[in-house]
Amino acid sequence: MTGDYLVRATALDGKVRAFALRATELVEEMRARHDTFPAATAALGRTAMGSLLLAAASLKEEDQLLTIEIRGGGPIGRILCTATGRGEVRGMVSNPHVHADSVQPGKLNVAGVVGSQGYLSITKDLGMREPYRGTVELQSGEIGDDFAYYLARSEQTPSAVGLGVFVTSETLVDAAGGFLVQLLPGLSEEEIVAVEREVAALPHPTRLIRDGLTPEQVLGRIFPAGFELLDTYPVRFSCPCSPERYAAAIVSLGSDEIKRIIEEEENDYTEVVCHFCNEKHRFSPADMQQILEAANG
């Protein structure tokens, strides 16, 4: 498969679940939409890929939704992503124009913009009455480790997570990808040690994807004895917002608030910007009158 895609696999007789993805195009699209500076691009891209991997691992139905929020106290503010079981993801950061000096030469200081004093919170809307929620304290602010800690701590599944985004000197996304490996009950101590050894021996995920490894080849590195491919599907940036959805949201503000907006805008267009995709939705004065009538019932 070309472009961005995700593979789902098992290994060691089904006692290990593994997922890997290439997401270069969608992370570049997020960068372009939000005009993120390099470290913010990497933070948002890693969170978006982690969301897709976790959605692949935990959503059973295509219409279920996973939301990830990271607040680490760093200059980026809040990172928020949502992913569906269909491989669609969207995301935003509070402050896209942030920078932190590199600690290691040539490596973006992701933890420097995210911060490491805060939490990672996951909400899964599985179509039940109450969504599932889990929150853990951030461990490093590098995001991959934080996802792994969440899975071990909150879902009791020992996991390895690798997420990498490479940004060029022109600040464009040149490569983005990652993997998630989950150890299930029933593995022997030797098998656990063997998987952990292969994961620890991997170069940084950014290196792997820059070297042009496909998601299947990344899994091949982790499982030299082989793995069973279950599923492959495309992943992409997608935001379900539309003028109709925003019109409905404005109706829900109530007629007093809508009147206030109409007075404030006078004869100008009312513009609403979607925080997830940065698309502008514009409503003419005539549209706003219709919305007001709808609010009046």
Residues 222-241 that bind Zn ion (CB under 5 A): 239, 241
Give yes or no for a contact between 62 and 5, defined as CB atoms under 8 angstroms apart. no
Q: Which of 20, 68, 176, 277 binds Zn ion (CB under 5 A)?
A: 277
Give the whole-angstrom CA distance, residue 46 versus residue 175.
12
CB of 275 to Zn ion, least distance (A): 8
- Our CB check for Zn ion shows the closer of 210 and 275 to be 275
Q: How far is the CB of 84 from Zn ion (least distance, A)?
A: 14
Q: How far apart are CA 71 and CA 137, in angstroms?
A: 10
**Which residue, 166 or 276, is less far from Zn ion as judged by CB?**
276
Which of 144, 232, 162 is closest to 201 using CA atoms?
Answer: 162
Please, what is the minimum distance in Å from the beta carbon of residue 30 to Zn ion?
A: 12
Which position among 5, 147, 149, 276 is part of the footprint of Zn ion (CB under 5 A)?
276
Among 274, 281, 283, 288, binds Zn ion (CB under 5 A): 274
Packing angle, helices 243-251 and 285-295, rounded to 10: 50
For residue 132, the surrounding DSSP H or E stretch is strand 132-137
Q: Residue 151 CB, nearest distance to Zn ion (Å)? A: 28
Cβ 62 to Zn ion, closest distance in Å? 20
Q: In whole angstroms, how close is the CB of 48 to Zn ion at the nearest point?
A: 14
Q: Is the dihedral of CA 183, 68, 77, 137 positive or negative?
A: negative
- 196 HSE (CA, 13 A, CB side): 11
- Please give the residues from 239 up to 258 whose contact with Zn ion meets the rule CB under 5 A: 239, 241
Q: Which residue, 8 or 281, has its beta carbon nearer to Zn ion?
A: 281
End-to-end CA distance of the chain: 50
* Residues 81, 122: Cα–Cα separation, whole Å: 10
User: Does residue 292 bind Zn ion (CB under 5 A)?
Assistant: no
User: Binding residues for Zn ion, per CB under 5 A?
Assistant: 239, 241, 274, 276-277
